[in-house]
């Protein structure tokens, strides 16, 4: 019965408070996310403009391409920018995001070192416009943003790509957080199913709790070899307040916020997700159920500061990485 080893019982998952896809869809997304609010987060351009309105920092916009005619002028738009990111406004799951780390005379260089010509870039933008990466294949807009200079303290924990921080915000309370570190396997993208390392974060401090790659626990970054136990996200309180503020900004009750840490600008909102995935439970080694149940009992209209404080108080946890490794680096 060796093949049964990879399976577990529904009761065990329920005891752990794990939320399945069906429950997430019906019980949380269906109940707390009103359909008409989706465009606010499904369109990154709208999210960005809204965020500026609410004083939430986002990466600087170099420009947008809205017509196939505009594709021809993209080289003029890119002139003078060392690194940039091209993304579809309505893309999902990180699809269609092209990161160019720096530019030289010969062309554009991706974080992996792969060289792209201007034709490649134009083709990519053209694909975005015709809706290749958008939900339902509808015509789309391409956003060009400046490359994020991510915080140096995090440099050792990532390979080629920008590590981003996913915070699940439920009714305005940050309930669970993780950091996604890109690896060689994930081609510089911070997508867990492509092989990025997911690090569960303590809501109270922003310190690493536990790390997984391909759903299996790991203790160091597979490419840099850096110990993950020492990982603590700087400016954690600011980041949580920013994430929690997205509830007022969008009105969506069950929200996935993707944040990055910029060297100069601090925490920035990268994008929002109205259907955040469940992998965060794997990285935290804990189900969402108990935390969500607790938040559901809380009254509405609580100010952001109080919500963040409540979450930091109730959802604090001990690091599993530290327990299994040395205890001295807990506050590094």
Partner 1 sequence: MSRLMFYIIVGFLLVVGIASSVHRHVQFEIPWLPGEQRQVWEIEAGITFNAQNGPVQVDMALPSHQAGYRVLTENTASSGYGLAYQADELGRTAQWTIRNAAGSQQLYYSVQMLVSQDARSPIQTPPTLTAATPWESPYDSAASQLIEQAWARSANNATFARELIRDLNGERQEESARLLLSQEAPAALVVRLLNQSGVLAREVSGLILEDGRRRQTLSSWIQVFAADGEQWSIFNPATGEQGKPDNLLLWETGGRAVLEVQGGTNSRVSFSMMTHDQPASAAVRNHYSDDTLLNFSIHSLPLEEQALFQTILLIPIGALMVVLLRVLVGLKTSGTFMPVLIALAFIQISLTTGLIGFLLIVAMGLIIRNYLSYLNLLLVARVSAVIITVIAIISIFTVLAYRMGLSAGLTITFFPMIILAWTIERMSILWEEEGPKQVLIQGGGSLVTAVLAYLAMNNPWVRHITFNFLGVQLILMALILLLGNYTGYRLLELRRFKPITDDEKLS
Return residues touching partner 1 (CB under 8 A): 6-10, 12-13, 16, 18, 20-23, 26-27, 68, 95, 119, 122-123, 126-127, 130-132, 137, 193-194, 212, 215-217, 281-282, 285-287, 320
Q: Which is nearer to partner 1, 266 or 285 (CB)?
A: 285
Query: Rounded CA gap, 50 and 209, in Å?
Result: 33
Measured between alpha carbons, how far apart are the two ends of the chain, in Å?
45
Tokens 């809380």 locate to: 298
Helix, strand, or coil here: 60?
A: coil
Q: How many CB atoms neighbour CB 300 within 10 A?
A: 6
Q: How many CB atoms neighbour CB 301 within 10 A?
A: 5
Residues 6+ apart with CB under 8 A from 113: none
Q: Which is nearer to partner 1, 235 or 324 (CB)?
A: 324
Least Å distance between CB 72 and partner 1?
13
Cβ atoms of 209 and 228 within 8 Å: the answer is no
Query: Rounded CA gap, 165 and 239, in Å?
Result: 9
Q: Which is nearer to partner 1, 16 or 314 (CB)?
A: 16
Least Å distance between CB 287 and partner 1?
7
Least Å distance between CB 2 and partner 1?
14
Least Å distance between CB 317 and partner 1?
13
Q: Which is nearer to partner 1, 63 or 131 (CB)?
A: 131
Q: Which is nearer to partner 1, 13 or 61 (CB)?
A: 13
Least Å distance between CB 23 and partner 1?
4
Q: Which of 300, 277, 290 is nearest to 198 (CA)?
A: 277
Least Å distance between CB 320 and partner 1?
8
Q: Which is nearer to partner 1, 11 or 297 (CB)?
A: 11
Q: Which is nearer to partner 1, 8 or 52 (CB)?
A: 8
Binning the chain into helix, strand and coil, the percentages to the nearest 5 are 35, 25, 40
Residues 6+ apart with CB under 8 A from 145: 59, 60, 61, 62, 84, 85, 87
**Which residue pairs from 119-125 have beta carbons closer than 8 angstroms and sit at least 24 positions apart in sequence?**
121/74, 121/78, 121/86, 122/71, 122/72, 122/74, 124/86, 124/96, 124/98, 125/65, 125/71, 125/74, 125/86
Least Å distance between CB 80 and partner 1?
26
Q: Which is nearer to partner 1, 197 or 212 (CB)?
A: 212
């Amino acid at each position: 019965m060796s093949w049964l080893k990879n399976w577990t019982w529904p009761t065990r998952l329920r005891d752990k408070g794990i939320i399945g896809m069906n429950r997430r869809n019906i019980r949380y997304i269906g109940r707390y996310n009103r359909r008409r609010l989706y465009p606010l987060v499904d369109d990154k351009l709208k999210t960005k403009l809204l965020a500026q309105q609410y004083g939430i920092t986002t990466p600087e916009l170099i420009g947008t391409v809205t017509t196939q005619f505009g594709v021809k002028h993209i080289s003029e738009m890119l002139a003078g920018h060392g690194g940039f990111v091209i993304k579809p406004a309505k893309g999902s799951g990180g699809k269609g995001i092209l990161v160019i780390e720096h530019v030289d005379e010969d062309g554009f260089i991706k974080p992996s070192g792969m060289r792209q010509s201007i034709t490649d870039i134009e083709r990519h933008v053209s694909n975005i416009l015709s809706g290749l990466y958008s939900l339902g294949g509808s015509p789309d807009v391409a956003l060009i943003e400046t490359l994020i200079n991510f915080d140096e303290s995090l440099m050792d924990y990532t390979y080629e790509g920008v590590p981003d921080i996913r915070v699940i915000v439920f009714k305005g309370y940050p309930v669970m957080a993780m950091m996604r570190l890109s690896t060689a396997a994930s081609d510089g993208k911070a997508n867990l199913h492509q092989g990025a390392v997911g690090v569960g974060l303590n809501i109270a401090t922003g310190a690493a709790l536990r790390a997984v790659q391909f759903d299996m626990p790991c203790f160091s970054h597979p490419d840099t070899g850096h110990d993950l136990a020492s990982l603590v996200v700087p400016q954690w309180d600011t980041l949580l307040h920013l994430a929690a503020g997205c509830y007022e900004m969008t009105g969506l009750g069950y929200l996935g916020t993707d944040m990055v840490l910029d060297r100069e600008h601090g925490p920035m909102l990268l994008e929002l997700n109205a259907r955040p995935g469940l992998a965060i439970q794997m990285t935290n080694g804990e189900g969402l159920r108990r935390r969500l149940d607790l938040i559901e009992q809380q009254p509405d209209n609580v100010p952001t500061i109080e919500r963040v404080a409540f979450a930091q108080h109730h959802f604090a946890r001990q690091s599993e990485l530290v327990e299994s490794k040395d205890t001295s680096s807990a506050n590094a």
